[in-house]
């Protein structure tokens, strides 16, 4: 009955952002983006015992990998137009 409530910290905002990024990557079929978004969710969980510098390094790395995981703009336009 006397359980402590978890504090709502920045970790949860980053986890939500990672989930949204993974869903965006799924709409374009960018599997690398899906993996990077989910990795961002996992690495930002507050129960994972990482120091701040290490966690931020991994988070920046996953965001950079996410940015470069999408196909070229011409490929995305062709996908949206339905052109093969």
The rounded average pLDDT for each run of 10 residues, N- to C-terminus, in the chain (84 residues) is 74 92 90 93 88 90 92 82 76
The answer to whether the CB of 34 falls within 8 A of the CB of 76 is no
The answer to whether the CB of 33 falls within 8 A of the CB of 70 is yes
Q: What pTM, to 2 d.p., does this model score?
A: 0.77
Query: How many angstroms separate the CA atoms of 61 and 67, rounded?
Result: 10
| b/e burial code for range 21-52 (CB count within 10 A of at least 16 → b) | bbeebeebebeebbbbbbbbbebbeeeeeeee
């Amino acid at each position: 009955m006397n359980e402590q409530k978890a504090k709502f910290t920045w970790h949860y905002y980053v986890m939500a952002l990672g989930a949204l990024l993974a869903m965006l990557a799924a709409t374009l079929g960018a599997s690398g983006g899906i993996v990077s978004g989910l990795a961002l969710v996992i690495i930002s969980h507050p129960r994972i015992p990482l120091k701040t510098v290490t966690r931020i390094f991994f988070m920046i790395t996953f965001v950079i990998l996410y940015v470069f995981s999408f196909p070229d703009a011409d490929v995305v336009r062709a996908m949206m137009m339905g052109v093969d």
